[in-house]
Amino acid sequence: MSEISIGIIGGGGITSSVHLPLLSCIDNVNIKFLADTVDPIELATSYNTTSVKINNVSDLPDCDIALLAIPVGVKNNYIEEFAQRDCYIFTEKPFAADIKTHELFLEMSKKITCNYMRKFYNSTRQLKDIITSDVFGPIEKISIVEGGIIGKTGRGKDSYQSNPKLSGGGFLTESSCHTFSQLDFLFDEISLESSDTIWSGEFDIETNANLRVNDQNPFSIEYTGTMIRHVEPKTTIFFKQNKIELNHLEPESIFTISSLTSSDFEINLEKETFYASTYEQAYYLKWKNFLESVSSSSNLDVNTETSIITTKLISEIKEISAKK
C-alpha cells in the first residue's frame, strides 16, 4: 500500500484519545496536518505533524483522506470542500442530523464513510453468524434496552453536545445511532412502526420505539433508549423455544442462551475472537477496512458506509414526536 496522507479536522477528545494514537501506528499512513478553530499546536507537535488554525475551510491543505472529527452541525462546509477536491472523507458519528442532510452529503461525495465501528465488534459478528445460521429457527422478536441516568449529554455546559444545533440533539444522535447501525448491519429492510419520545427542551432524553424487520419471517424490535432511568444495557433475541441475551454495547459480550420452556437450561456461549474484543480494536478495524478501500480505489457503497437507515430511523422518530 502506497503512503496515504490524512488531514484531521477537529482536535477534541476523540482525536487525541483514539484517532491520533491509532493512525500514528499504521504503516504507510502520514498524518499530514491537524486543524481546529483553536490552534492545536501542542497536540500536533506531540505527533510530529503540522498544526493548522482554521480560518477558511478552503485554505486547508490537501490530503488523501479528510477525517472530520467535528460536531455534526458544522460538517456541511467541510464535506462540500473535500468532496470538491475528490478526497475520501471519514466522519465521526452521527453522520447527519436528519435524512435530508444525509442525502445531501451523499450527493456531494461518493467517497465517504462514517465511524459506526460497532459492526466490527466480536459480539456483533457472532450474533450475525447465529442469526444467519438459523440454528434456533426464525426470530420471534427482539428487545433492546440501553442508557442510564447521565444528564442531558454527560458534558459540561460549554461542550458542543450541550448545543442541539451542533450536536444534533440528545440520546438518539449521541447513543441510539450506534445501536441502530448495528441493527442495520444485522438485518435488511428495517422500518419504524411507532415511537414515543420524551423531551427536555430541544434534547430527546428517552425514546420507546417499535421497529419492524421485514424479511422472510417478519418480527418486531422493541427499543428503549433513556438518559433518565437506571437500566441494564441488554439485547434479548427471542426464538420459539430459546432466547439469547447479550450486552450489545460491549465488543466481547457474554452470550447467555436459555430455554423459554424450562428453567433448568442456561448456558454461556463461547466467545469468538475473530474481530474486535476491545473498543480500540473496533476503531482499528474500521480504519483498516476504509484504508484498504482507499488504497485499492474501490467504489464505496455509501448508503452502507454511512448507514443511511440509521439516520432515517432517527429522523422518523423525531418527526413522529413533533406531530404529537
Q: Do 222 and 100 lie in a common domain? A: no
Domain-located, residue 286: no
Looking at the 3D structure of the chain, how many domains does it have? 2
Q: pLDDT tens digit string along 5-44?
A: 999 999 999 999 999 999 999 999 999 999 999 999 999 9
pLDDT tens per residue across span 275-319: 999 999 999 999 999 999 999 888 899 999 999 999 999 999 999
Do 126 and 71 share a structural domain?
Answer: no
More confidently predicted of 110 and 298: 110
For 214-263, the pLDDT digits (tens) are: 988 999 999 999 999 999 999 999 999 999 999 999 999 999 999 998 77
In this prediction the pTM is 0.93
Q: Which residue would you say has higher pLDDT here, 88 or 271?
A: 88
Same domain membership, residue 107 and residue 128: no
Q: Report the pLDDT value the prediction gives residue 274, as an integer from 0 to 100.
A: 84
- At 263 the pLDDT is 75
Tell which of 66, 91, 115 closes a domain: 115
Residue 290 lies in a domain: no
Q: Same structural domain for residues 203 and 245?
A: yes
Q: Give the pLDDT confidence score for residue 169 in this predicted structure.
A: 73
* CATH code, 24: 3.40.50.720
Q: Same structural domain for residues 65 and 206?
A: no
Quick one: 58 and 123 in the same domain? no
Domain encompassing residue 192: 118-280+310-323
Within this chain, do residues 109 and 134 fall inside the same structural domain, yes or no? no
> In this structure, which long-range contacts are made by residues 57-63, counting pairs with CB atoms below 8 Å and at least 24 apart in sequence?
57/81, 60/7, 60/9, 60/33, 60/35, 61/7, 61/32, 61/33, 62/5, 62/7, 62/87, 63/5, 63/6, 63/7, 63/32, 63/33, 63/87
**pLDDT one-digit tens code per residue, 134-164:** 999 999 999 999 999 865 445 555 555 566 5
Shared domain check, 222 and 208: yes
- 163-212 confidence digits (pLDDT tens): 656 666 789 999 999 999 999 999 999 999 999 999 998 899 999 999 99
pLDDT of residue 152: 47
One domain, residues 153 and 106: no
